[in-house]
Structure 1
Amino acid sequence: MNLPNLLTIIRFILVPVYWGVFFSEIPGRVYWSLGIVLLAGLTDVVDGYIARKHKQVTQLGIMLDPLADKCMLIAVFLSLLLSGVIGISAAIAILIRELAMIIFSAIFHFRGKKTVPANLLGKLTTVLFYVVLFMLMLHLPAAQHLLWVVIGLSYLASLIYISQFRSLNRSSHAK
């Protein structure tokens, strides 16, 4: 196992750690939770940088990296829903998209289809989700409105992924 994939595994481990801290009675638990989410985000940046710089990009990493991001985002949004910070409609919109992306990526992977790496809009959407999460956790003004903007961008990114996926796999069959 290479270092980028190990960092991705650490991000998976941070998901239940986040959940445990967020729902604990630890003083400053929101700040500790934010720190865990930030650590997960940093490991995402670092593992991608190392993988590209040292030519350690693997099919496993291409599949697991976005899955780790989605698991963390789902955990955070569920915690915000359960704590009353976001409403059910926003949570459902996010969960439908994230779960659909996970399920379809797994199905396509196990059917031997080529996986589309993250594009610029997808990466931007992930960063914006983290910004909105911080704003929501800190109860900052305009966070709810920005959340819906980011949800819209995430659906647009999904449409682009679907188009790229179809194009990539259509051209691979033609060869």
Structure 2
Amino acid sequence: MFHPESGKLFNNTRRFMIMKHIPNAITIIRLFLVPLFIYVFFSGDPYSHVYALVIYLIAGITDLLDGYLARKYKVVSVVGTVLDPLADKLMLLTALWCLAAIDAIPFAFFVIMIVIEGFQILSGIYLYTRPQKAVIPANKFGKSATVLFALAVSMMVLLPDSPLTLVVVLLALVAKIVSFTSYMILYLRGRDKGNVI
């Protein structure tokens, strides 16, 4: 005899299994947006930079979406915790590299950012691949820096000559340095303890 409660439990379980993988799937899609951004940015279309900016902002929206879904359905995973900030960093570095390539920003600015982000990526891989895995999730400082850089990239594309653009870029850089400092503290703790922070 079929029990309604059994069917409800089955549906809830199936729904959970589907939702469990959606946040990571969205993150992977965001990774694929990186090469698309490069292609569109250098496509030669009169509005190529604006179109690339739209891709950048879509990536930012998907970042908020996968984080929201992971928290709402309590499906935060170690893989997602690693891939999510990696996707953010790759998209940011890609955007800055493209802007530096057309002299929209000083190349030194890109170098500073690639050193900071590169260290975070490599140290994150190091912590995750040790026998005692440790993962440093994105914190409020990192998310604040991400938002400021989204605004900065937007203004560098749309208002490259505005003095306000320089102010926003500098604020984003300061936020990134603060974020990096907090990351270093957590990294040293994770390296010593070998656990998930």
Q: What TM-score results when the alignment is normalised by the length of structure 1? A: 0.92
1:162 to 163, 166, 184: 184
CA distance in 2, matches of 1:49, 1:155: 26
Alpha-carbon distance, 1:115 to partner: 1.1
For 2:163, what is the secondary structure of its paired residue?
A: coil
1:5 to 24, 30, 33: 24
Alpha-carbon distance, 1:113 to partner: 3.3
2:44 is the alignment partner of 1:25: yes
Q: 1:51–1:57: 8 Å Cα contact kept in structure 2?
A: yes
1:43 to 58, 62, 66: 62
Rg (Cα) greater in structure = 2
Unaligned runs of 5+ residues in structure 1 are none
CA distance in 2, matches of 1:119, 1:156: 11
1:118 to 125, 138, 148: 138
The Cα offsets for residues 34-54 of structure 1, whole Å up to 9 and x where unpaired, read as: 110011001000000000000
For 1:136, what is the secondary structure of its paired residue?
A: helix
Q: Aligned residues, how many?
A: 173
The Cα offsets for residues 31-85 of structure 1, whole Å up to 9 and x where unpaired, read as: 2111100110010000000000001111000000000000000110000000110
Q: What TM-score results when the alignment is normalised by the length of structure 2? A: 0.82
Alpha-carbon distance, 1:95 to partner: 1.1
CA distance in 2, matches of 1:149, 1:41: 19
CA distance in 2, matches of 1:166, 1:101: 12
> Bigger CA drift: 69-78 or 1-10?
1-10
Q: 1:90–1:148: 8 Å Cα contact kept in structure 2?
A: no
Q: 1:113–1:169: 8 Å Cα contact kept in structure 2?
A: no
Q: 2:26–2:62: 8 Å Cα contact kept in structure 1?
A: yes
Alpha-carbon distance, 1:144 to partner: 2.6
> Bigger CA drift: 25-34 or 65-74?
25-34
1:88 to 104, 107, 110: 107
Q: CA RMSD in A?
A: 1.7
Unaligned runs of 5+ residues in structure 2 are 1-19
Aligned to 1:144: 166
Aligned to 1:78: 97
Indicate the percent of aligned positions where both proteins have the same amino acid.
34
Q: 2:151–2:168: 8 Å Cα contact kept in structure 1?
A: no
Alpha-carbon distance, 1:117 to partner: 1.5
Alpha-carbon distance, 1:103 to partner: 0.8
2:131 is the alignment partner of 1:109: no
Q: 1:93–1:151: 8 Å Cα contact kept in structure 2?
A: no
For 2:135, what is the secondary structure of its paired residue?
A: coil
Which segments of structure 1 move beyond 4 Å, counting only runs of 4 or more? 168-173
For 1:95, what is the secondary structure of its paired residue?
A: helix
